Structure 1
Amino acid sequence: MKTVSNCVEDILITQPYLEEALSRNIINYSALAVELTEPISKMLKKDVKPGAIMMALRRYNPPPTLGNSIKMKRVIQNLGDITVRSNLTDFTVRNSDTLIDNHAKILARINQENKLFYTFTRGIHESNIIISSSLKEFVQENLINETFLAVQGGLSAISINLPQDNSKIAGLYYHFFKRLAWEGIVLYEVLSTTNEFTILVEDEYVDKAFTAIKRVKS
């Protein structure tokens, strides 16, 4: 049988900012309990008093990864270089039987110019190519028989080198997304490899995004 505590946990899990505020003791429990009275009453299909909700809030134990654990601090302090690449174009293409062969022609050209920015991601139904805008026309010519779902220029990529053990740290990416969201920065694309994390933003956001990520590191 679902309890008030279960409902409080369900709500906080879906609202990580609220959960973090609770873990840092910077939220008014009484006011939050009043705010949650109606949704929790609907979840339990009966009237619930704010006092019961406030008690559940005080007893709630947030995941340790939300706090500033020593391990998380060490990883963030050991973040590597932050690199910015501008003048990029993002192509989203529907997957087809000919896409790989046509993509191979693009790869052959990229091998001739080692200073280009380039990434390729293949999903279930579509593929994504992000490349320096100097090759925009070349890509369009070689994919002329493919179905373009979206083409977006005027983009910049911000890449962060991550520590070797980053894949064992729960909640690491949350710190980046939280800061970017708080700053009102819209992410156009997110990319990652084992030890590198890249966000793609429109040029108007690049300075603000770079500053936000530096603040996470510091």
Structure 2
Amino acid sequence: MKTVAACVESIVLQQPFLEDALSKEIINYSALAEHLQQQVSQQLGKTVKTGSIMMALRRYKDKLTVSRPYYKIEVLLGQLGDITLRSNLSDFTFRNSDTLIHSQADILNKIKDKNHIFYTFTRGILESNIIISSSEKADVLDSFKSEKCLEIKENLSAISLLLPKNNTKVAGLYYQILKRLALQNVSLYEVISTTNEFTIVVEDDIVDNAFSIIKNLNKN
């Protein structure tokens, strides 16, 4: 049988910002309980008093404090490495095909000696993306001339961040980065990651704000 506590936890888990506010004790329990009352009552099929919801919220907050290793996240944030900013980038989206890999090989051959340029390739289920220095646009279009180009986006910048070697052992690091960007209304055009690197691609007009947020991750 579903309980008030289970309903409240389910609702809060779907709203990470709300969970974060609870963990930091910067939320009004009474107001939140009134806000959630109708939703909890609907899920349980009966009227639920706000007092019961407030109690469930407080118990959930206590569980957050005990069970969530936020201290590990803070340690990781303090160990973040160098930040690299690359501008003048273009993003090309191509429909996947049997010949796409040959087109990719062709562009790789053209840029193999250009160590100064930025280049990433990501293959999805239906489409693939190339993000590359805009100076190479003509070569990309030539190498992929037989492919279906779905979209081209220019005036992009990439911010790359070196992560601590143990970043894969602690849950929530990406969440902390993305949360802070979202709180400042920074929209991401692409997200790219390797084991120890995390890169966001944004439009040029918001790159200064995004860079400032990334730079100050270990200071918040």
Q: Aligned with 2:84: secondary structure?
A: strand
Aligned pair partner of 2:64 in 62, 65, 76 = 62
Cα–Cα, structure 1 residues 65 and 159, in superposed 2: closer, same or farther, change >3 Å?
farther
Residue of structure 2 in register with 1:186 after alignment = 187
TM superposition shift of 1:68: 3.6
TM superposition shift of 1:62: 2.1
User: Does the 8 Å contact 1:20/1:66 carry over to 2?
Assistant: no
Q: CA RMSD in A?
A: 1.3
Q: Aligned with 2:122: secondary structure?
A: strand
Relative to the length of structure 2, the TM-score reads 0.95
TM superposition shift of 1:169: 1.1
User: Does the 8 Å contact 2:110/2:139 carry over to 1?
Assistant: no
User: Does the 8 Å contact 1:23/1:67 carry over to 2?
Assistant: no
Tell me the percent identity: 57
Residue of structure 2 in register with 1:123 after alignment = 124
TM superposition shift of 1:202: 0.2
1:192-211 matches, cutoff 5 A: 192-211=193-212
Is 1:99 matched with 2:100? Answer: yes
String of CA shifts for 1:139-181, please: whole Å, max 9, x gaps: 0121111111111000000000001100111000111111100
- State the aligned residue count: 217
Residue of structure 2 in register with 1:2 after alignment = 2
Q: Aligned with 1:8: secondary structure?
A: helix
* Alignment partners' CA distance in 2, 1:140 and 1:65: 52
Q: Aligned with 1:62: secondary structure?
A: helix
Cα–Cα, structure 1 residues 65 and 182, in superposed 2: closer, same or farther, change >3 Å?
farther
TM superposition shift of 1:74: 1.9
TM superposition shift of 1:65: 7.6
Gaps of 5+ in 1: none
User: Does the 8 Å contact 2:80/2:164 carry over to 1?
Assistant: yes
1:184 is aligned with what amino acid? Answer: N
Relative to the length of structure 1, the TM-score reads 0.96
* Alignment partners' CA distance in 1, 2:158 and 2:17: 26
Is 1:213 matched with 2:214? Answer: yes
Gaps of 5+ in 2: none
* Alignment partners' CA distance in 2, 1:56 and 1:192: 37
Cα–Cα, structure 1 residues 109 and 20, in superposed 2: closer, same or farther, change >3 Å?
same
2:64 is aligned with what amino acid? Answer: P
* Alignment partners' CA distance in 1, 2:182 and 2:90: 23
Residue of structure 1 in register with 2:76 after alignment = 75
1:27-176 matches, cutoff 5 A: 27-60=27-60, 61-62=63-64, 68-69=70-71, 71-176=72-177
TM superposition shift of 1:213: 1.0
* Alignment partners' CA distance in 2, 1:176 and 1:192: 13
2:15 is aligned with what amino acid? Answer: Q
